[in-house]
Amino acid sequence: MTAASAAAMEQEAEATCLQSFELYESESRLYILGTNSDKTLWRLLKIDRSEPSELVIDECSTVYSDSEHHDLLRGLDEEHRSTGGVKFVTKFYGIIGFIKFLGPYYMLIITEQKRIGEIFAHPVYQVTRTAMVELANSKTRSTFQSSKDENRYKKILSTLDLRKDFFFSYSYHIMRSLQKNLSDPHQEGWTLYETMFVWNEFLTRRIRNCLRNTLWTVALVHGFFKQDKFSISGKDIMLTLIARRSRHYAGTRYLKRGVNEKGRVANDVETEQIVYEAVPGPSEVSSVVQNRGSIPLFWSQETSKLNLKPNIILHEMDDDYEATKLHFENLRTRYGNPIIILNLIKTRERRESILRREFDKAIKIINKSLSEEDHLRFLHWDLHKNSQGKPTNVLDVLLKVAFRALSLTEFFYCQVAPSSETAAHWSTLLSGLEPYLCDDNSNSDNTECSEIVGDISQEDISGSSDSSGNATAEDKVENSELPPLKPPKFQKGVLRTNCIDCLDRTNVAQYAYGLAALGHQLHALGAIESPELGLEAPLAHHLMHFYERMGDTLAVQYSGSAAHNKIFSAKRGHLKLFIQSQEFFRTLQRHYSNTCIDANKQAAINLFLGYFQPQQGKPALWELESSSGEHNNELSDDHTSTLKRIRSDGSILHESGASISGSGHCHNEPLSASLPDVQSGLQVPNLESDSIHENEVSSGYESGVSHLRYTPTASDILHVPRADPDNDSGDSNFLDLEWLSTSGNSSDERSVATSTPDANLSTENVISGITPEIMENQVAEIQAQKLPDDFVQWVNHGDTFWY
């Protein structure tokens, strides 16, 4: 091979991602050979096995051709002939990361994957099978004592099923929105791993520190991905729905509620809806992003096996609502202005109304300190009350809210012209947008793009929603072969929706916003004449299926059961008995998961995310949890700062700039700056006893140990928020409620007595929207199935159950 060809191959290798890997082992080393999609280029990674409690990785700088790859293997086998040679272990598709408990390091790899879609020519894959490879060899393994705790940790990690709803792409930054990818295309892989939606950021941190690249790892996103193609007006349209779950303050329903001190909220999910014409060559693309997340206050609910309706408890009221303010500042950094809050919780039900009043007060106090431009827009609208009559009527109202919100945030649209020969490369896809690309230093999706190349005014970029106009001569790009480009549009701001769990009611509202956006997106693509799609349109039913699937998936992840889809089912015309029975059994399934499974699941999540790092000589988590409060007092002197920040998840965002010095060879560099901020508060599940046997977590790093669950003292608890009549200024500051009430919802005209839910009925975690009369009918129906009366009473009212 000539020097020129070798240099060309090396340059191509740097621009090519590795997509397939072969793992070989010798007595002293693991060898990984990685190749590109067409297996023309190969690279070599070496992992030392002589010191398995340390991670020593060496990346060979040579790039090998396919024929050289076979020669390389023969040479490695000859080198280790005296100790048994080199043996093939497995083929795999990417490194998830490295983890260490009390003994050696383990490498997590993807051994099977399934293609679930693509963004343009960039495939998206779902993890379908994984493996954990121990780095210790036969000699070094004997130096580690056989530890029950070590096996216990491995069992804990295995309870996090990576085969469910984890996806990735080799060539597309799936952890970012399309607008962010196109507006800021030059982000390096290192930085992208530190975004809030990459769940294996912690597990990959050491190898990224060593190699200063991300060639060997994949960035896993947790959430939902669904894609389908449909035809409209003679055009093939690709519809993609992506939900990205944040790794910050992540966990299960009753173990993660509200906000932490850094402004991170539970169940924080970004939803993106991408629409483009599925044709090669010049293409138009559009996307819109919305957000859901727990109410950003300090609040909790205690799990109870005997009560389906645990009380809502507010903690440590802060007059300035600093954590709430941090949360909305983070949203503004990510999405820009305006931040629109759609709060769907109940206004008259005792437990939910506590949060409703306090959230309203927090918003208004925060707005007093903000400029008018930065004001939070809000709407408090009781979806449960308004669905008491005809449940489907709420969709009419929510669609009006969605259109109003969309007019404020707008959506992303641009024309891209990837070359047919190199469509698989992201840089080429961007070529058609170059005249309109924004400042590379942009940190958020609210790109206003003041420095647009070409004679494009700001009004053209962020003005009206009519994108059907033709570009002027000045808009044409230098390449005369490309057709004129329409001016792009950018989303500025975001709609943030919440209920109590941010699952069932929230998903209905997100569907309405997605439907409003879809009409505008298809209109921008020239597929339909009017930007408004009605609820009865065939596409509306198609989109409903997408959002229903997403809602079920997100609900299982957070609460353990599929979503309560009463409104969707009613829209499809399902029988009331069928809907009630489905809601009933999903309630039972959710309650069982919350009381019996979630602690184990939370433990696995926190271990995977790096919030718990076991250490020799430190108490195991199950020991801490089974001990008395006196033991916690023993820790308080040494870990004062930890206990003060007990509600925080300890952001593992790489904020302090860990060292990435050195070449490919790394000897377990100190990571004090890059390890998770354990001191900010380790999250530990509230385990009841050792009967949950192998599914707890141990923690402990140099910065200390603390509890997952924050158990408030009496002085921390506030069941009823403080009244502030001066802040009672209405339920919305961005739309006319009178106009909203003209939606034709018959329940608006119902009497207060009829529309006010019974205090004994469940909130979102029970069967929402069922009156006492309906409940009695349901009891009769269930009794017809010969279930005991006590059992039905327990399910309906959460009373003590003696079975």
Q: Report the pLDDT value the prediction gives residue 211, as an integer from 0 to 100.
A: 92
Q: Is 650 left (phi over 0), alpha (psi -120 to 50) or beta?
A: left
Q: For 560-684, where are the alpha helices, taking DSSP H only?
A: 566-571, 576-596, 598-609, 621-626, 629-636, 640-644
pLDDT the model gives residue 652:
29
Domain assignment present for 265: yes
Amino acid identity of 142?
Answer: S
Whether residue 378 lies inside any domain: the answer is yes
747 located within any domain: no
Among 219, 249, 284, identify where a domain stops.
Answer: 219
Characterize 628-651 residue by residue with b for buried, 16 or more Cβ atoms within 10 angstroms of its Cβ, and e for exposed.
eeeebeebeeebeebbebbbbbbb
Name beta bridge partners: 226: 241
Residue 535, classified by CB atoms within 10 Å of its CB into exposed (0-12), middle (13-18) or buried (19+), is middle
> Which of these, 277, 275, 300, 305, lies nearest to 288 by C-alpha position?
275
Q: Are 35 and 19 in contact (CB under 8 A)?
A: yes
Q: Domain check: are 88 and 234 in the same one?
A: no
Residue 208 sits in the same domain as residue 319: no
Say if residue 174 is in the same domain as residue 271: no
Whole-number pLDDT of residue 732: 87
Q: Residues 326, 397: one domain?
A: yes
Q: Which of 498, 514, 534 is the last residue of a domain?
A: 534
| Sequence-ordered alpha helix ranges (H) in 221-306 | none
Same domain flag for 304 and 358: yes
Residue 118's domain comprises: 15-219
The pTM score is: 0.74
What is the rounded distance in angstroms from the CA atom of residue 188 to the CA atom of residue 2?
Answer: 31
295 and 380 belong to one structural domain: yes
Q: Give a yes or no: residue 123 inside a domain.
A: yes
Domain edge (last residue) among 156, 190, 219: 219
Q: Is residue 622 part of a domain?
A: no
pLDDT of residue 617: 80
Is position 339 within any domain? yes
Residues 6+ apart with CB under 8 A from 120: 172, 276, 283, 285, 416, 418, 423, 429
Domain match, 20 and 149 both: yes
Q: Are residues 234 and 214 in the same domain?
A: no
In this structure, the answer to whether residues 142 and 19 fall within a common structural domain is yes
Shared domain check, 290 and 377: yes
DSSP state of 228: E
**Whether residues 383 and 304 fall in one domain:** yes
Task: Say if CB 401 and CB 735 are below 8 A apart.
Answer: yes
Say how many domains are in the chain: 2
| Distance in angstroms (rounded) separating the CA atoms of residues 91 and 24 | 9
CA atoms within 13 A on the CB side of 799: 11
Per-10-residue mean pLDDT for the chain, 803 residues long?
49 68 95 94 95 91 92 93 93 97 94 95 95 87 75 91 94 94 75 91 94 94 96 92 96 87 95 92 86 93 74 82 96 96 90 91 95 95 83 87 96 74 42 40 38 31 36 43 75 96 89 96 94 90 93 85 65 64 66 70 90 82 45 30 31 34 44 37 34 34 36 37 42 83 46 31 34 43 50 43 32
Kindly list the distances between the CA atom of residue 385 and the CA atoms of 307, 579, 731, 750, in Å, as whole numbers in the listed order: 23, 18, 15, 10
Domain membership of residue 430 (yes or no) is no
Verify that 292 and 271 share a domain, yes or no.
Answer: yes
**501 assigned to some structural domain:** yes
